[in-house]
Amino acid sequence: MTLLITGGASGIGAATARLAAARGHKVAINYRSREAQAKKVVADIVAGGGQAVALPGDVGHEADIEKLFEAAERALGPITHLVNSAGIDGGTMRADEFDEAVLARLFGVNVVGLMLCCRAATRRMSTRHGGKGGVIVNVSSMAGTIGGRPGKSAYAASKAAVDSFTMGFAKEVAMEGIRVISVRPGMTETEMTEQALADPANRAAVSATIAMGRVGRAPEIANAILFALSDEASFISGVTLDCSGGGFVFWNR
């Protein structure tokens, strides 16, 4: 089994890479700028007896995506599983502050790049194209269900697009041996959120909006992703799996 993880150098992607390797996957870890972190994850996997490679590429660029898939297959063999974990948050912007270039980059990575990765995977996995099937997990966000937190409506919109695409895409390839699932984390401790969660008051305020009263941890999301990738989920496709600590609440405790 060969798993390609976009954005696999840190956060949920890195936690998924480590867990997947422990469960027998060969893992291709894509990164854009975190080369040292990606190579550290690879080194840890190899030290534990697994197989892994670190591969550069910006999923916001179509040419990089094609090169990434080709490099992963050269290194580890046919790709059987894909986790689209690469994403950016686009900063904090009200609608009256939107910047066209920022929005284009946000949707270029979070939506268009993800869709093109799914295209590349389909061309390799689909029985229609001579493949043997496979599984794709798109990492979305609970933000897409509520419009995001203040100043994050654009990010939320990009993740809502991922969920909608996942449902439609899964129907297209269901008869071609491919399962597609969207995993929606709630607020989770990663490099993307560490600045927001560093302030104790802000962390407490965010935690109060989660039913379990705390933010998630990357390995918790990785466990859900690995379930979705596994044969235990063989009849699950075209759905969203919420990893949200019970969902949003809006009352004071």
Q: Are 54 and 35 in contact (CB under 8 A)?
A: yes
Active site includes 31? Answer: no
Under DSSP, is residue 31 helix (H, G, I), strand (E, B) or coil?
strand
Task: Give the active site residue among 31, 69, 155, 165.
Answer: 155
Partners of 53 in the β-ladder: 28
Question: What single DSSP character describes residue 7?
Answer: T
Beta strands in 125-201 (DSSP E): 134-139, 178-185, 188-189
Under DSSP, is residue 88 helix (H, G, I), strand (E, B) or coil?
coil
HSE-CB at 228 with a 13 A cutoff on CA atoms is 30
| Whole-angstrom distance, CA of residue 60 vs CA of residue 58 | 5
- The CA-CA-CA angle for residues 250, 252, 253, to 5°, reads 120
Count H helices, E strands: the chain?
10, 9
Q: Can you say whether the dihedral through the CA atoms of 5, 8, 142, 118 is positive or negative? A: negative
Q: Are 241 and 184 in contact (CB under 8 A)?
A: yes
DSSP-assigned states of every residue in 151-179: T-HHHHHHHHHHHHHHHHHHHHHGGGTEE
Q: Which two tokens stand for residue 230?
A: 């596994």
Please list the active-site residues. 155
